Structure 1
Amino acid sequence: MLSGFMQMTIVLGLFAANVVNFFLQDHKWGWRLSNGVILIAPLIIMMGIFFCPETPRWLFKEKGRESAEKSLKRIRKIDDVTAELDAIANAIREEGNEVSIKELFTTKKMLQRLGIGVGVHAFLQLSGINIIFVFGGIIFESIIGKGIISLLILSGANMLSTIPALFLFDRLGRRKLLLYCGLGMIVGHFVSATLFVTGCNVVKTIINDTTVNEETINCKTSSGVLMLIFTVVFVASYALSWGPVAWIYAAEIFPLNVRARAVSITTAGDWFLGMLMSYMLELITPLGIHGVFYLFSGLCLLAVVFVYLFCPETKGVLLEDIEEVFENFQLKNRTIIKVLRRPCSRDIKRTYM
């Protein structure tokens, strides 16, 4: 749930930024004021960090029970924190010794789990969500002439769809949300691309027969609006599932004695791939806007296949039982794998007969 709330704060900030941009779009100092407003939040964080106490759990491990008790009393505003301190002590004792980075990469079971965590975060980025919010304004400005309003609509859909996600992942399950909403993401991208192909044309202005000076996109109003609507479908599907659930799932699949290091690696992979995705705009020139949307639709399809084949349900699973869940969730037991193996099994039987 806390990981989900982290995503909620991100989408809330994104929506707030687009609201500010909307109201300042015609102001002569518009972009300067927008960037000035952005500085408010980090300044508050920088000042507030000096008033935050160390976590009792870290203090217990590094400096002992007494230091943890002082911090816990300050946080809880009560004098008797014995029960919670005992719970922290028991949890630390159950964790045992932390697994090293070397062991994480050399233990087959942990390496497989790490691959799943990194894979979930990779597809989180490969879905194209950041491209929509970073370059969506430019794309929809060229399509319908309303880039800032389009971003406001998209960020609003993102924020509003994240709210029910905070409750749905415990009711419907992580795996179901990733699968079914992943299908919605595929549809959103695919239909948007098809609408661009059927309802828009690109006019190129050429100088000296070789150099492309500029490209003008002419779209039917209905096609442009429908593209925005189906991009909203993609964003809403993402916000209901991959946005918050990927962070939750990648943390749940690791035991406590390796979780901190493993999650740091999966998170680093997420942001590294996010950095590389900022160059995806370069693909618009060779592929076109529709080609980029088709590409992301295909990547979302791969994400759904990945979850179906490798990601078991973790809803309601105790930490002690997570190992058993992964041992029972074998690739060979997936229905589609069984169906594909039947012809091979028959051929083998005929060969021996």
Structure 2
Amino acid sequence: MGVLTKITTNIYSIGAFAAIAGIMFGFDIGSNSGVIGTIQYQDYFNRPDALLQGGINGALSAGCFVGALFAGYPADRFSRKFTLIGASALFVVGSVFQAASNGVPLLCVGRVLNGLSVGVTSMVVPLYQSEVAPKEIRGRLVAIQQWAITWGIFISFWIQYGTQFIQSTAAFRIPWAIQGVPALILCAGMWAFPHSPRWLADKGRMDDALRVLADIHGSGDKSHPRVLLEMEEIEATIHFDKNIASHRYADLLKPGMAYRVSLGVCLQIWQQLTGMNIIMFYVVFLFKQAGIGDSQEATLVSSGVSYVVNVVMTIPAILFVDKWGRRPTLIFGALSMSIFLWAVGGVLATGTWYTDNNGEWLVDLASKTKANGVVACVYLFVASFATTWGPLGWIYPAEIYPLRVRAMAISLSTASNWLFNWILNFVVPLMMQRLHYGLYLLFAAFNFLMALHVFIAYPETKGYTLEEMDIVFEHNPRKKIPREVLEKWVEEKGLRRAEAAGSDSVNDKKAELANEEAV
């Protein structure tokens, strides 16, 4: 029992287990992106045209949009933990429907249910992770969510690669059924993990909140200086929220808060406009269009390597995102992706475009070197996204809002992510056929614009507690705020009260904590 307690109160265990929800989402992406290029799928579903295939893929994103938009209420009302449990159970049902589908309608129903689940979890998991994490590793912990997504994509794609040799509908039913396994694990295991201490405090359960904080940040010691400092901040913030502020959706439109909301919404929209959806959902079609691989198997292998790159290159983000900072990582990533997409579009523009017997547009590059250049640039693009915008798209919105509106604001930003995800999944197949190489030039331009937007508008949030974000946005710094400015603001706002149990003064606790961190 003691071993289980240590596991369920370890901060990395908590973040990693909650991130299983990311594996659920990744499984759905990976299995579907591989399946749609197989003969078995094409024959059984009567070779869906670009419009219908966009609708099938978009069914997931449509469900995600609705799930994310309404996830704020259950996350606030029933807790982050119980919301994750309910969403994972729904994902199991959706996976069963997909695996048992006898046509496009039932397949779409299953994908919508899975989408509702993913929409909820994609909003709640970063919220939960950010609220349990200490500020020093908050970015790293939330980045695990993105890494889990990449693992889900990677594993499910190669499961699908293996099942393609089955000459029956099992070739796509097995991958769709297996994607329910991580949802079962999350549903069963999440019961053992703690509630968010900030949610507990917001509900007036201060003793429970203190106990959870002590377990996850103080090795069970309720008088640990870090625990006392964090508890004071949370109590003061909640006191302010309850007595001065409010919890209404209208608060999101107030001048100062509307700016923060716009940053979270725009960042999530920009993440979709990086062009990564083209790679994740349609990399098989892209490589087929460019004539890469002389068989279905060769095309799938080339496509699958991009998923390996995605997994491996997310690791640097997990290790260093809290050292690099949010702003430079986002700017560098956007500029890198822009360069590689310009290169892909430029190479494809040199080829001769034609239609095959099925009416699909393909390109003859007339050179193996050019084809290899396209593959290399795609892999470099994926690496750039995985190290930067992949994890930061979830980290930044999860840390910039005050507790009273955090769930509602993250719900709104995540819903905007899924709205654009749905739009892109619906239109990209058509755009690939009609814009040809222009599609990649369009997304290259988007990446340049997002780098410019981050440089102009986004403050640095690395190294601050969630309760200190108000001063970050008061000063809107492009670099770290001096500690003396923070201390002065904290005293003026009264976010910390002197004299706390187990310590003579706040200064004593700060000194004790500083010494502990130095060691």
Q: TM-score range by the shorter chain?
A: 0.7 to 0.9
Alignment map for 1:143-292 (pairs within 5 Å) = 143=290, 144-145=292-293, 146-198=298-350, 200-204=351-355, 213-219=359-365, 220-279=367-426, 280-288=428-436, 290-292=437-439
Please give the alpha-carbon distance, in whole angstroms, between the structure 1 residues aligned to 2:150 and 2:200: 32
2:272 to 125, 132, 155: 125
Pairwise CA distance, 1:109: 1.0
Pairwise CA distance, 1:242: 0.7
Please give the alpha-carbon distance, in whole angstroms, between the structure 2 residues aligned to 1:90 and 1:325: 19
| Cα distance change on mapping 1:79 and 1:142 into 2, 3 Å | closer
Q: Give the SS at the match of 1:316.
A: coil
Unaligned runs of 5+ in 2: 1-139, 479-519
Pairwise CA distance, 1:222: 1.9
Please give the alpha-carbon distance, in whole angstroms, between the structure 2 residues aligned to 1:259 and 1:48: 25
Residue 38 (structure 1) aligned with residue 190 (structure 2) = no
Pairwise CA distance, 1:33: 2.2
Please give the per-residue CA displacement for 1:266-295, whole angstroms capped at 9, x wherever unaligned: 11211222122111222123211x111111
CA contact 2:159–2:175 (8 Å) conserved in 1: yes
CA contact 1:21–1:148 (8 Å) conserved in 2: no
Partner of 1:27: 166
Partner of 1:94: 236
Partner of 2:443: 296
Please give the alpha-carbon distance, in whole angstroms, between the structure 1 residues aligned to 2:463 and 2:178: 41
Alignment map for 1:109-120 (pairs within 5 Å) = 109-120=256-267
Q: Give the SS at the match of 1:202.
A: strand
Q: Give the SS at the match of 1:27.
A: coil
Instruction: Letter of the 1:148 partner, please give it.
Output: L
| Cα distance change on mapping 1:319 and 1:41 into 2, 3 Å | closer
Residue 8 (structure 1) aligned with residue 147 (structure 2) = yes
| Cα distance change on mapping 1:149 and 1:263 into 2, 3 Å | same
Instruction: Letter of the 2:144 partner, please give it.
Output: F
Instruction: Letter of the 2:304 partner, please give it.
Output: L
Pairwise CA distance, 1:311: 0.9
Pairwise CA distance, 1:328: 4.0
CA contact 1:185–1:297 (8 Å) conserved in 2: yes
Cα RMSD for the two superposed structures: 3.0
Alignment map for 1:300-319 (pairs within 5 Å) = 300-317=447-464, 319=466
Please give the alpha-carbon distance, in whole angstroms, between the structure 2 residues aligned to 1:3 and 1:23: 31
Partner of 1:338: none
Please give the per-residue CA displacement for 1:249-272, whole angstroms capped at 9, x wherever unaligned: 222332333333222211121122
Pairwise CA distance, 1:9: 0.9
CA contact 1:113–1:254 (8 Å) conserved in 2: yes
Please give the per-residue CA displacement for 1:211-241, whole angstroms capped at 9, x wherever unaligned: x844343333222221111011111111111
CA contact 1:116–1:311 (8 Å) conserved in 2: yes
Pairwise CA distance, 1:56: 4.7
Please give the alpha-carbon distance, in whole angstroms, between the structure 1 residues aligned to 2:376 and 2:256: 43
Between stretches 233-242 and 143-152, larger displacement belongs to 143-152
CA contact 1:195–1:223 (8 Å) conserved in 2: yes
Pairwise CA distance, 1:329: 4.1
Between stretches 102-111 and 311-320, larger displacement belongs to 311-320
CA contact 1:141–1:147 (8 Å) conserved in 2: yes
Please give the per-residue CA displacement for 1:296-342, whole angstroms capped at 9, x wherever unaligned: 101111111111111122223455654444344489xxxxxxxxxxx
Q: Give the SS at the match of 1:6.
A: helix
Please give the per-residue CA displacement for 1:135-171, whole angstroms capped at 9, x wherever unaligned: 1112112321333112211111111111001122222
Please give the per-residue CA displacement for 1:37-76, whole angstroms capped at 9, x wherever unaligned: 2221122223334555544543444363455578789989
Residue 17 (structure 1) aligned with residue 17 (structure 2) = no
Please give the per-residue CA displacement for 1:163-219, whole angstroms capped at 9, x wherever unaligned: 001122222211111111211100111101111111x3222369xxxxx84434333
Q: Give the SS at the match of 2:461.
A: coil
Instruction: Letter of the 2:448 partner, please give it.
Output: L
Please give the alpha-carbon distance, in whole angstroms, between the structure 1 residues aligned to 2:389 and 2:425: 19
Please give the alpha-carbon distance, in whole angstroms, between the structure 2 residues aligned to 1:327 and 1:60: 25
Partner of 1:346: none
CA contact 1:126–1:300 (8 Å) conserved in 2: yes
Partner of 2:253: 106
Residue 138 (structure 1) aligned with residue 279 (structure 2) = no
CA contact 2:147–2:311 (8 Å) conserved in 1: yes
Q: Give the SS at the match of 1:254.
A: coil
